[in-house]
Amino acid sequence: MLSAKNLVKTFEKNEKKGKKVLFNAVDDVSIDVNKGEIIGILGPNGAGKTTLLRMLGNLMKPTSGEVSLIEDGEVVSDERTIKKNIGYLSGNTKLYGRLSTRELLQIMGNIYDMSKEETDNRIEEICKILNLSEFIDNRIEKLSTGQTQRASISRCLIHSPEIYIFDEPTLGLDILSSSAIIEFIKNEKKKGKTVVYSTHYMEEAEAICDRIIFINKGKIICQGTVEELKKVTGDESVRDVFQTLIKKEGVDYEF
């Protein structure tokens, strides 16, 4: 189980006329992610979704608060161990264009402390799951958008993590590619893996998430299963729930 306690992240922001102001991008957020669960993080642009996910993935250190991994009642907060259990994917995690997918996966395996044999076997497996064989030895910069996305996913699979953190994984993809990712998430859940992901697509979240967390201005404003959320506002769909909640917060959110 991945557990985040009272996460706060403070940044310096450039206000008008270059004046620097401190603000909390994430403000006292606590999340417990249970094993085998799909959690959707929803919120308007600038709500702090990416910062929150970066802290969950240990890419960024929180200003205060703690992220820890609880396995069989044992609490681990060592950065390296947590990272080894997480596969992180976002629009900002681009791949090294001058390497081939195979070279990239081999190097990653090495860094995740896997033996050469282990890595090669895992690459064969991933190759089958994501159908990489036709382009695995081509330079990544030569791949098409869909192929690149598959290569990206293969990157977070190499070390067989228990938890996936995806920051808007379907953003800007066509229907085929994005549904492939949704399928992938569903399959991983079947294998008992945990997924935390953020998205702007409400229907997508409604379809696959066990639990949805709405955040705005760095704070959790509401969380629960799709049914629970609908009860809170009395709306019919997650989209409407979202709009009602955000309006209550005093933010006009444009879709």
Partner 1 sequence: MNFKIIKALYKKEILDVLRDKKTVLMMLVVPLVLYPLLIVFGLQLMTKISTDMEEQNYKIGMDFEEKKLTGLFEAEDKDVEGYSISLVKTDEPKDALAKGELDAYVTKEVVDGEETFVVCYLSADTNSSYAADIIIEVLNEYSLSITTDLIEDAGLDAEYVLNPISLAARDYSSNEESAGNIMGSLVPFMLVTSLLMGTMYPAIDTTAGERERGTLETVLTLPVTNQELFFSKFLTVATIGIASAILNIISMGGVGVYMYKTMLGFSGRNGIDMGQFVPGIIICGLCVLAFAVFISAISMCVCVFAKSYKEANNYITPLTLVVMFASMVSIVPNVELTSNMALVPVVNICLLIRDLLVFKFNITVIMLVLVSNIIYGMLAVVLLGRIYNSEAILFGDGSASVQIFEKRSNMIKGGVPTLGDMWLVLAISLVAMIYVGGAVQIEFGYYGVLGTQFIILFVPILYALYTKKSLVETFRLRMCKANAFVGGLLMIAGTILLGMIVTGIAGMIFKNSATELTESMEYLLGDSFIKTLLVVAVAPAICEELMFRGFVFSSLEKKCSYKKAIVIGGVLFGAYHMNIVQFFTTAFIGMVICYVSYRSKSIFPGMLMHFLNNALSCFTMYYPDTVKKVAPILVSETVTLNDMVLMVLVGLALIYSGAYILNMKKVEKN
CA distance 227 to 125: 37
Give the residue, chosen from 1, 8, 99, 232, that forms a contact with partner 1 under the rule CB under 8 A: 99
Check: CB of residue 65 under 8 Å from CB of residue 36: no
Give the residue, chosen from 13, 21, 30, 61, that forms a contact with partner 1 under the rule CB under 8 A: 61
Q: Select from 51-59, 196-204, 223-231, 242-250 the region that touches partner 1 (CB under 8 A).
A: 51-59
Give the residue, chosen from 47, 86, 123, 245, that forms a contact with partner 1 under the rule CB under 8 A: 86
Q: Select from 54-62, 171-179, 202-210, 216-224 the region that touches partner 1 (CB under 8 A).
A: 54-62
Minimum separation from the CB atom of position 87 to partner 1 (A): 8
Instruction: Please identify, using beta-carbon distances, which residue of 152 and 216 lies nearer to partner 1.
Output: 152
Q: Which long-range contacts (CB under 8 A, 24 or more apart) does 112-118 make?
A: 112/84, 112/158, 112/159, 113/84, 114/158, 114/159
Q: Select from 15-23, 33-41, 221-229, 236-244 the region that touches partner 1 (CB under 8 A).
A: 15-23
Instruction: List all residues 6 or more positions away from 140 whose beta carbon is below 8 Å from its beta carbon.
Output: 95, 96, 97, 98, 99, 100, 101, 104, 148, 151
CA distance 178 to 175: 5
CA distance 22 to 207: 38
Give the residue, chosen from 92, 144, 145, 225, that forms a contact with partner 1 under the rule CB under 8 A: 92
Minimum separation from the CB atom of position 60 to partner 1 (A): 6
CA distance 206 to 226: 6
Instruction: Please identify, using beta-carbon distances, which residue of 29 and 158 lies nearer to partner 1.
Output: 158
Instruction: Please identify, using beta-carbon distances, which residue of 103 and 118 lies nearer to partner 1.
Output: 103
How many CB atoms neighbour CB 128 within 10 A?
Answer: 9
Q: Which residues of 22-59 are buried (b: 16+ CB within 10 A; e: fewer)?
A: eebbbbebebebeeebbbbbbbbeebbbbbbbbbbbbb
Minimum separation from the CB atom of position 30 to partner 1 (A): 22
Footprint on residues 100-159 left by partner 1 (CB under 8 A): 103, 107-108, 110-113, 139, 155-156
Minimum separation from the CB atom of position 110 to partner 1 (A): 4
Q: Which residues bind partner 1 (CB under 8 A)?
A: 12, 17-19, 54, 57, 59-61, 79-81, 83-84, 86-88, 90, 92-99, 103, 107-108, 110-113, 139, 155-156
